[in-house]
Amino acid sequence: MPEQNQVPNPPQTPGPGSRQPAANAATDDVLVSAYPHRRSRKRWIVSLSIIVLAVAGVFLWHYLSGFESTDDAQVDVHLYPVSARISGYVQTVNVDDNQWVDAGSTLVEIDPKDYEVALARAQATLDASKATAKSLDIDVPVSTVDTSSQLKFTSSDIQNAEAAIQAAEKEAAAAHARVVEAQAENVKAQDDVTRYRLLLAKEEVPKQVYDHAYAAAATDVAAIAAAEADEAAALQAVQEAHSRLVEAQAHFENAQAGPQRVASTRAKALSAVADVHQKEAALEQAQLNLGYTRILAPVTGEVTKKVVVGLNVEPGEQLLTVIPLDQVWITANFKETQLKYMRVGQKATIELDSNGRTYNGHVDSIAGGTGPIFSLLPPENATGNYVKIVQRVPVKIVLEPGENRDRQLRPGMNVEAKVYLR
């Protein structure tokens, strides 16, 4: 292959008479004039690109720094456990699982028969207590009047008895004086009879005189007997007057105990009034217990975990739970580094994973501590192997009115929360 061993011809140098150099010079002039224009266009494009990127970066930074977001957020709500306040047999359940109920509607009914009987018994006991209190209330003024009258009468009886004693003693003294006088008259009459008997025996006086003296002596003896009887009667009157005085004094002492009896009656009346109040309270409790047989919905919401008919429940036993879906809020756990510019009232949006919808709300409050601090076993950082970990703080976000009208935000759902700082 002789062609492969051939040496290429060297470039020929144009001679003085050749016109090729002139053509090359013209081409070089065109190239030299086009190169600066191409470089300036490239620089302009690069500069414009840098400016566009800078402006885009500024806008991007401004947008990204205008909100804080987290996907560590969930829907929360206050659960309302409905429990029995009395014991009894579940007679009727008026709701089904996941049924929507209004506040005040009857959810469960407990058999009321036992509580109706208890109410009737409490009413009868109250009526009897009121009757007793009324009678004692009447006895108080009557006892007061009787006691006052007895005090007056017994005091008057004592005075009368004392006056009767004085009169009887005077009468006894007068009767004794009459006895003494009759005895003196009798002594004189007996002496006259003896003297006239002697004179009659000597026939110095007529028998008529003797008979007259004897009759006078007999009369004086009868007068002594009458005077002694009067004295005995007067002494008996004195004893009777003393007895009446003793009796009047006893009645007076008994009447003096009347105020204590009145006070005792008044205390019994007050005790009866207190017993009436106690029975009224028992009646009210019986009425409440009868009302507790109908268990009402505390709020408007959705029922879950309901009981069934036939259970015997005890006070405090949970029967069902009402979830007020109209009152849900969002608990968003933001990092502590995201809270620098976060304030109450700032606008927020919530994206729900289940339907992709965005809900509007605002920051209601920021928790007073981090989430772990409220756990059952809060972390203890006072150890030698402490490692700083960014903590999360719960932020409560409430929805604007009407946002959860379709009630698709349900407790426990995961959402993405975004809080706008500007």
Sign of the alpha-carbon dihedral angle for 137, 142, 143, 147: positive
Q: Between 214 and 348, whose confidence is greater?
A: 348
Structure tokens at 331: 């608990």
Confidence (pLDDT) at 137: 67
Confidence (pLDDT) at 330: 96
Provide the mean pLDDT of the chain.
80
Q: Between 411 and 225, whose confidence is greater?
A: 411
Confidence (pLDDT) at 13: 45
**Band of pLDDT at residue 8, cut at 50, 70 and 90:** very low
pLDDT digits (tens, 9 = 90+) for 245-278: 777 777 666 665 556 666 666 777 778 888 889 9
* pLDDT above 50 for 30: no
Q: Between 280 and 216, whose confidence is greater?
A: 280
* 334 neighbors 367 (Cβ within 8 angstroms): no
How is domain 116-284 classified at the CATH fold level? Helix Hairpins (1.10.287)
CA distances (Å), 366 to each of 32, 337, 389, 390, in order?
A: 70, 14, 20, 17
CATH for 82-112+292-320 is: 2.40.50.100
Q: Which of 152-156, 326-330, 364-368 has the lowest mean pLDDT?
A: 152-156
* 344 neighbors 361 (Cβ within 8 angstroms): no
Sign of the alpha-carbon dihedral angle for 170, 172, 178, 181: negative
The C-alpha atoms of residue 105 and residue 323 are separated, in whole angstroms, by 14
HSE value, Cβ hemisphere, 13 Å, CA-based, for 299: 14
**Band of pLDDT at residue 5, cut at 50, 70 and 90:** very low
* pLDDT above 70 for 292: yes
* pLDDT above 80 for 34: no
DSSP secondary-structure letter at 393?
Answer: E
Residues of the chain with CATH 2.40.50.100: 82-112+292-320
Confidence (pLDDT) at 148: 64
Q: Between 180 and 403, whose confidence is greater?
A: 403
Q: Between 229 and 158, whose confidence is greater?
A: 229
Confidence (pLDDT) at 37: 62
Residues of the chain with CATH 2.40.30.170: 67-79+323-420
Task: Name the one residue in this structure whose structure tokens are 């207590």.
Answer: 129
* 107 neighbors 303 (Cβ within 8 angstroms): yes
The C-alpha atoms of residue 189 and residue 196 are separated, in whole angstroms, by 10
Q: What percentage of the chain reaches a pLDDT higher than 70?
A: 76
pLDDT digits (tens, 9 = 90+) for 133-152: 777 666 556 566 556 666 56
Nearest to 412 by CA among 342, 353, 372, 360: 353
On the 0-12 / 13-18 / 19+ scale of CB atoms within 10 A, 266 is middle
pLDDT digits (tens, 9 = 90+) for 151-177: 566 676 677 777 777 777 777 777 777
Angle 180-183-188 from CA coordinates, rounded to 5°? 130
Structure tokens at 265: 């009656």
Q: Give 44-82 as a DSSP string.
A: HHHHHHHHHHHHHHHHHHHHHTTEEEEEEEEEE---EEE
The C-alpha atoms of residue 350 and residue 328 are separated, in whole angstroms, by 12
**Band of pLDDT at residue 242, cut at 50, 70 and 90:** confident
**Band of pLDDT at residue 71, cut at 50, 70 and 90:** very high
Class of domain 67-79+323-420: mainly beta
Give me the mean pLDDT over the 363-367 stretch. 95
The C-alpha atoms of residue 286 and residue 293 are separated, in whole angstroms, by 11
The C-alpha atoms of residue 412 and residue 392 are separated, in whole angstroms, by 18
Who contacts 372 (Cβ-Cβ below 8 Å, separation ≥6)?
378, 379, 391
Rounded (to 5) percent helix, strand, coil in the chain: 55, 20, 25
pLDDT digits (tens, 9 = 90+) for 373-406: 877 777 776 665 667 788 899 999 999 998 998 8
